Amino acid sequence: MLAEIAAKSREITADVLVLGAGMAGLGVALRIAPQAQVAVVAKADLTQGSSLYAQGGVAAVLNEGDSYAAHIEDTLQAGAGLCHADTVEFVVRNGPKAINWLIDQGVDFTRESGQAGTPYHLTREGGHSHRRVIHAADATGRAMETTLESHARNHPNIRIFEHHIAVDLITSRKLGRSGPNRCLGAYVLDMGAGETCVFRARFVILATGGACKVYLYTSNPDTSTGDGIAMAWRAGCRVANMEFVQFHPTCLYHPQAKSFLISEAVRGEGGVLVLPDGTRFMPRHDDRAELAPRDIVARAIDFEMKRGGLDCVYLDISHKPAEFIRSHFPNIYQRCLGLGFDMTRQPIPVVPAAHYTCGGIMTDLKARTDINGLYAVGECAFTGLHGANRLASNSLLECVVFAAAAAADIAAQLAATPPPPENLPPWDESRVSDPDELVVVSHNWDELRHFMWDYVGIVRTTKRLERARHRASLLQEEIREYYSNFRIHSDLVELRNLAVVAELIIRSALARRESRGLHYTRDYPGLDAGPARDTVLVPEQYTDV
């Protein structure tokens, strides 16, 4: 039987395996490709991750009126005492270099006058003391992602595997081999062929993005299912600060909008939040009003909606000239217009939605995880940059800076690192059958996202969290039984990962007995009296399921 399995298992070998194809993944791939053979695995089409949908831009110190010290201080302030100072300084000081690399790749950032040769236009977003967000109109992620995609598709040393989803990491410890634990590759499901392949590599990069699909309402695409975080946890990596989930204050409220994000830059350029009767409410909640950090704005909206029994609030920038709105926010304008809202003439309805995972797989400043040969870059990683709340537009910056750091570290080790063993075991499907009722998966998926939204959302209580932990435990038992008995498919892989991530978020939230940054609990509304501490979770032991 094992011979039959081996014959059916496809094997791919590369120097570097990159799981994820957003800004982090493609950033590593393009930087290391001149020196190594790279395999890039994407769950959908190459660009269909969160990076594509980033609207606002990239924060960096790019003009004389700004300073590293100011950007560092703004980041520390937003992070509510939990940012790692060394990480913040490392990222901020490498910001201009990261932007220049993007410009060298051909990313067409917006200029002041729209003409080549004029200075780049910089906008300001919530929590920033200066205009420092470089952007490509209101579709920065698309401009960056499609530019890097073009280079990746045409690079002779990069092989791209679209519509493939990583199932689990292959490590020496998992295989029972002696010596230090090392990542040797991954099992990857070819969704088109329904075949689970063995990818062998000297180095593996987790660039799988965040986990906000664990919530009912999210600004993220369907690919954001926490795959990298769950795989790293199962492989034995520590994770940290999973309780800090950023809810973006302003997603378009419309049944057909598919959680369309209204960029923070709309508020940065003068948009105000109002109730249905036109009353502005943010000044009652914070002196910075609409320019307060996202956690404050999201909680204020949540409060006003619950207080007034509202389905949504409204974002109004119609007092600005129509041409200004159309030129600064062309994509947002067109999307809203297509749904019946003319933002040059009327307020647009908005609600908060899960947007960014601030916690993740613990790494150092070279993006290295607890397992030799395994790196994590981008939203799936915990670097210490964001603390208890991410400062707007620091995420794309983190992707590019740490992609460079990871690539440099791998390049320094390539010559001395032998290839992975050739006798990696194939994926074993000898004791499973085809699933009989896929409705079980879809039902569990819906249940998970509903109880996470109801019990582990913007405002939490210990009782709600305990309820969520109980439901998550039962759900994981059901998923474990299903996973053990039936042939895998992408929905099951994602559900399994989301259930792990839900548990990590709940456990982290229960462990933090204070309200800090994005974690707000009614049972502990103030800050803890002691020093600020990260919530670090350590796997007790490796489990195959």
Which residues are annotated as catalytic? 294
**Lateral strand order in the sheet of 245-252:** 245-252, 348-357, 313-316, 272-274
> Rounded to 5 degrees, what angle do the CA atoms 378, 43, 20 make?
25
Could you give the C-alpha distances from 359 to 57, 229, 256, in angstroms and in order? 21, 9, 30
Distance of alpha carbon 539 from the chain centroid: 22
CA atoms within 13 A on the CB side of 121: 21
Please name the residues in contact with 516: beta carbons below 8 A apart, sequence gap of 6 or more. Answer: 80, 81, 82, 388, 527, 528, 532
3-state secondary structure of 68: helix
Give yes or no for a contact between 55 and 44, defined as CB atoms under 8 angstroms apart: no
89, amino acid identity: E
Please name the residues in contact with 23: beta carbons below 8 A apart, sequence gap of 6 or more. Answer: 51, 141, 144, 145, 148, 378, 396, 399, 400, 403
Cα gap 165→128, rounded to integer Å:
37
User: Which runs of E-coded beta strand occur in 253-371?
Assistant: 272-274, 313-316, 348-357, 360-362
Could you give the C-alpha distances from 195 to 9, 57, 347, in angstroms and in order? 7, 38, 49
Cα gap 1→253, rounded to integer Å:
53
Please name the residues in contact with 3: beta carbons below 8 A apart, sequence gap of 6 or more. Answer: none
Cα gap 277→70, rounded to integer Å:
38
